[in-house]
């Protein structure tokens, strides 16, 4: 079974988790794009929808949804998004598409975060996928030096500006054995807007498509 088929499978499976009256947060990325195309099937269950990116908003609107601002909604009942990597604790690396700041805001403001992936995204240790970090342009060099100190290799994402008007450093060569501690450390470096570790706001449920089925997981405690 190819990867696109698995993405289709897991996107279809998460529809069963959408209940009546949902105030739904929607992430971004290729798997979420497939989900958005399927959401009209359960539109009658969705009270309001909030999006994490300009691209997702456009796709939601094209599928008949009126996208709300988080400020006018308050708390989300569920947030659904993909991931670039996920470990057994349902800690994630996200931000390959550059929407990590808004994604983390929605994850933080949701009652339940459901992550949808195919099996290629599951890892023992986070960090093979370069860690995306949204950075204020003025602080690019100073933030890069901080990553070099801890063994990272920061690379500026070329010709890319986030929806918030900032740049992305993709940090290679990190072996992230303690995601929670690293996320907290990075949160205190001036100039970093958001880092792509979702350990504080980890997923509550993981739906993962493999060759045979959808595997459902909760964090290992």
Q: Which residues are catalytic?
A: 103
The Cα–Cα gap between 95 and 193 comes to 13
Q: Which residues have a Cβ under 8 Å from the Cβ of 210 and sit 6 or more positions away? A: 6, 118, 119
- The C-alpha angle 78, 82, 87, rounded to 5 degrees, equals 105
Residue 25, φ and ψ in degrees, nearest 5: -100, 135
Q: What is the DSSP letter of 126?
A: B
Instruction: List Cβ neighbours of 158 (8 Å cut-off, separation of 6 or more).
Output: none
What size, in residues, is the chain?
Answer: 221
C-alpha radius of gyration, the chain, whole number: 17
Measure the CA–CA gap between 153 and 220, rounded to whole angstroms.
Answer: 30
* Neighbouring C-beta atoms of residue 33, cutoff 10 Å: 18
Three-state DSSP class for residue 96: coil
């Amino acid at each position: 079974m190819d990867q696109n088929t698995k993405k289709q499978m897991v996107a279809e499976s998460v529809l069963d988790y959408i209940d009546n009256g949902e105030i739904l947060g929607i992430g971004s990325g290729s798997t979420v794009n497939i989900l958005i195309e399927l959401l009209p099937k359960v539109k009658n269950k969705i009270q309001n929808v909030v999006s994490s990116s300009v691209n997702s908003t456009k796709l939601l609107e094209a599928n008949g949804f009126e996208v709300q601002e988080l400020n006018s909604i308050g708390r989300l009942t569920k947030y659904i998004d993909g991931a670039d990597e996920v470990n057994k604790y349902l800690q994630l690396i996200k931000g390959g598409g550059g929407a990590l700041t808004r994604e983390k805001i929605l994850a933080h403001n949701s009652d339940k975060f459901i992550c949808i992936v195919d099996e290629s995204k599951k890892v023992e240790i986070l960090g093979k996928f370069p860690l995306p970090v949204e950075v204020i342009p003025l602080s690019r060099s100073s933030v890069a030096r901080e990553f070099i100190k801890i063994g990272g290799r920061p690379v500026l994402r070329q010709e890319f500006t986030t929806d918030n008007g900032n740049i992305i450093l993709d940090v290679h060569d990190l072996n992230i054995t303690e995601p929670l501690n690293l996320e907290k450390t990075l949160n205190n470096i001036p100039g970093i807007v958001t880092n792509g570790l979702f350990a504080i706001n980890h997923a509550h449920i993981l739906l993962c498509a493999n060759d045979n089925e959808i595997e459902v997981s909760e964090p290992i405690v």
